[in-house]
Amino acid sequence: MCGIVGYIGPREAYPIIIEGLKRLEYRGYDSAGIALFDGNDLKVAKTKGKVVDLEAIVEKEITTNGKVGIGHTRWATHGVPNDVNSHPHVSNSGNLAIIHNGIIENYESLKQELISRGYTFKSDTDTEVLVNLIEDVQKQQKLKLGKAVQAALNQVVGAYAIAVFDKNKPDEIVVARLGSPLAVGIGPKEDEFFIASDASPFLEYTKNVVYLEDEEMAVIRFHKPIKIRKIEDDSLVDTYVQELQINLEQIEKGGYDHFMLKEIHEQPKAITDTYRGRLVRNEAIIKMAGVEDNMKRFLNANRIIIVACGTSWHAGLVAEYIFEDLARIPVEVEYASEFRYRNPVITENDVVIAISQSGETADTLAAIKLAKSKGAFVFGVCNVVGSSIARESDAGAYTHAGPEIGVASTKAFTTQITVLTLIALRLARAKGTISSSDFRTHLLELEMIPKKVEKALESDANITTIANIYKDVSNFLYLGRGYNFPVALEGALKLKEISYIHAEGYPAAEMKHGPIALIDENMPIVVIATKKGHYEKVVSNIQEIKSRKGKIIGIVTEGDTQVRALADHVIEVPDTLESLSPLLTTIPLQLLSYHIAVMLGKNVDQPRNLAKSVTVE
């Protein structure tokens, strides 16, 4: 994880880097730092804490003028978050400054080698080893910085996105990437360059961006066109300049207190954007090029294996129900992190669907590389355009959720379910496992979901009252059945990650096989009990909870009376098909966790220990 930012050009680098780091704080926020060349010397400031803490330090410690600089916001992997372990790291001579996102796996052996040659280390980080390795190569082999970086990286095992500069040659920054994202923004006059983990830090300056691919590097110079080379053999690769389609408003809070709340409220639009142009109800068709072009692979598949992590894994679980129910294709849903390490049986007739908001999750990326090596067809469902998983997949379909900044995933989840539903419906139609009238009903209902999400959002005041009653408890249970079992898992995850209240999700019927022992008058239990599905069974489960004095918060269909008579509180959602109900039942659970976290004074958008994209194993 970690966010990196750099600038070289005619403007003052400091404000660009600081504002850029704030936009990248979703990637990590346990420490931050900056290195600037002020025209004479290298100035470095860094600190444990957030970018605002860095700003305070900078004001006291360094001058902020300079046209070249690099900055970093960290999510610790090697070494605890403290001032010394923060980036940038400077080489022993004081000449080179580096920022790094990723992990150098063989850093210990490289470090011992460097120590034997007289190098000393202040931090516990792998990054300080890398910057000294570059310096060592530079000195030993009398190389220019670019060549020295290249030679050093050829000795490194691991993952990185780096930016490094030499105070003796401050008209260039060297960047390289393997396994961690790195974007280079090219100023409109091609006389300035912006470096960042994603394009958000430089959106107001330029829309032209080059994404480095794995194993690529570039020496970025004032006023010189960017040239990209292969790290391994120095060969030149074509520079593909893309035009960004997102704008600044999309990555700002737009009047909401938190990104998470803004993103919860953006779901009607995000879902519409995701099915727009794909769901053509008048013609009763679904158009998805990635599916159409590979229809044979899908139809001949022995099974679909879904790999993902966290919330995306929950979307995968919902998809398992949809694919099996509608398209009658067997589905297995795997945690990407487990899948890759358990020697899974994968054949050429398997279709692997990788789901990832960021498209950068290291475990998911590794899982699809494994699947591809066994000949499986890999289909990516990502939100971030041009992300590593999107590029690594054989084909795919983007969710069009827009940038998701809040660390807790919300609109990514509902748009993933939207895309997966479209795919399942398209395949069901092609296989003939759905009647044409059911197909039309699904299209019609899916088209109405955004309006129904808006309706579900109207329960905000009711949910705030419920949040206030239960905000101080230590535990929560979430129960759901069928399509809504994964929603129960997702609701529990949302509460855990932003309020730090322990929560568990269970299939409602599984409760009596253990979790029921937890229930007493202090335990709030959120039960998803919408009309379609296993309503009567869930009502029985509610009775079981009631007789053990548990506090019931029912998520019910509008107009419900049966659960209302039993539950302590109910939150209504509009009626829809059972297969689409997760798109609605998840909304109150997002709001409940949001309000509880706000009432507890937690940092909703940047919960402790988390980062938005997990680019380490």
Stretch of residues binding ligand F6R (CB under 6 A), selected from 147-155, 306-314, 440-448, 507-515: 306-314
> Residue 248 class from Cβ within 10 Å (0-12 exposed, 13-18 middle, 19+ buried)?
exposed
| 46-65: contacts with ligand F6R (CB under 6 A) | none
Q: How far apart are CA 105 and CA 451, in angstroms?
A: 49
Distance CA 204, CA 552 (A): 48
Number of residues that bind ligand F6R (CB under 6 A): 15
- Select 456 or 614, whichever has its Cβ closest to ligand F6R: 614
Among residues 192, 497, 572, 605, the one that binds ligand F6R under rule CB under 6 A: 497
Instruction: State the minimum distance, in angstroms, from the CB of residue 297 to ligand F6R.
Output: 23
As measured in angstroms, the least distance from the Cβ of 606 to ligand F6R is 12
| Catalytic site includes residue 169 | no
Residues 398-417 that bind ligand F6R (CB under 6 A): 408-409
Cα–Cα distance for residue pair 453/265, rounded to 1 Å: 9
User: Least distance to ligand F6R from the beta carbon of 252, Å?
Assistant: 20
**What is the amino acid identity at position 270?**
A
Contact 215, 1 (CB under 8 A): no
In Å, how far from its chain's centre is CA 485? 23
For residue 596, give every residue at least 6 positions away whose Cβ sits within 8 Å of its Cβ, in sequence order, or none: 467, 470, 471, 495, 499, 501
Output the DSSP codes for 279-344.
EETTTTEE--HHHHTTHHHHHT-SEEEEEE-HHHHHHHHHHHHHIIIII---EEEEEHHHHTTS--
Residue with tokens 């358990």: 342
Which neighbouring-strand residues pair with 179?
Answer: 160
Alpha helix (H) residue ranges in 117-172: 126-141, 145-153
- Shortest separation between residue 129's beta carbon and ligand F6R, angstroms: 28
- Cβ 611 to ligand F6R shortest distance, Å: 8
List of residues 6+ apart from 451 with CB closer than 8 A: 268
Task: Find the shortest distance in angstroms from Cβ 326 to ligand F6R.
Answer: 24
Q: Residue 208 Cβ, how far from ligand F6R at the closest point, in Å?
A: 25
Cross-strand pairs, 479: 506, 527
Active-site residue identified among 411, 452, 551, 612:
612
Q: Rounded to whole angstroms, how far apart are CA atoms 401 and 269?
A: 8
Q: Which of 548, 489, 541, 491 is nearest to 512 (CA)?
A: 541
Chain positions 70 to 129 lying near ligand F6R, rule: CB under 6 A, are none
User: Amino acid identity, residue 393?
Assistant: S
Between residue 189 and residue 218, which ones bind ligand F6R under the rule CB under 6 A?
none
**Catalytic residue flag (residue 144):** no
Kindly state whether residue 364 participates in binding ligand F6R, applying the rule CB under 6 A.
Answer: yes
SS3 216: strand
Q: Which of 2, 167, 207, 452 is catalytic?
A: 2
Would you state the structure tokens that stand for residue 317, as one six-digit string? 């679980």
Binding mask 445-484 for ligand F6R (x = CB under 6 A): ----------------------------------------
Return the number of the residue (460 or 605) whose C-beta is nearest ligand F6R.
605
- 3-class DSSP state for residue 63? coil
Q: Which two tokens stand for residue 536?
A: 């009567």
Rank residues 18 and 423 by Cβ distance to ligand F6R and give the closer one.
423
Return the number of the residue (297 or 494) whose C-beta is nearest ligand F6R. 494
Question: Residues 557 to 616: which contact ligand F6R by CB under 6 A?
Answer: 613-614
Minimum gap (Å) between residue 378 Cβ and ligand F6R: 15
Residue nearest to ligand F6R (CB): 310
Q: State in angstroms the smallest separation of the CB of 277 from ligand F6R.
A: 23
Nearest to 604, CA basis, from 257, 311, 358, 265: 257
CA-atom Rg of the chain in angstroms: 26
Q: Which of 309, 331, 553, 589 binds ligand F6R (CB under 6 A)?
A: 309
CA angle 378, 381, 382 (to 5 degrees): 120
d(CA 274, CA 268): 10
Question: Which residue among 49, 69, 88, 310 contacts ligand F6R (CB under 6 A)?
Answer: 310
> Judged by CB, which is closer to ligand F6R: 459, or 593?
593
Which residues fall within 8 angstroms of residue 174, CB to CB, at 6 or more apart?
145, 146, 149, 162, 163, 164, 165, 217, 218, 219, 220
Of the chain, the end-to-end C-alpha distance in Å amounts to 10
Name the segment binding ligand F6R (CB under 6 A); options: 42-50, 75-83, 304-312, 572-580: 304-312
Residues 337-356 that bind ligand F6R (CB under 6 A): 356
Kindly tell me which of 64 and 388 has the beta carbon lying closer to ligand F6R: 388
Residue identified by tokens 């990650």 is 497
Nearer Cβ to ligand F6R (187/607): 607
CB within 8 Å of 437: residues ≥ 6 apart: none
Nearer to ligand F6R, 136 or 497 (CB): 497
Of residues 493 and 604, the one with the C-beta less far from ligand F6R? 493
Is the CB of 66 or the CB of 505 nearer to ligand F6R? 505
CB of 412 to ligand F6R, least distance (A): 6
Q: Return residues touching ligand F6R (CB under 6 A).
A: 309-312, 356-358, 361, 364, 408-409, 493, 497, 613-614
Residues assigned a catalytic role: 2, 612
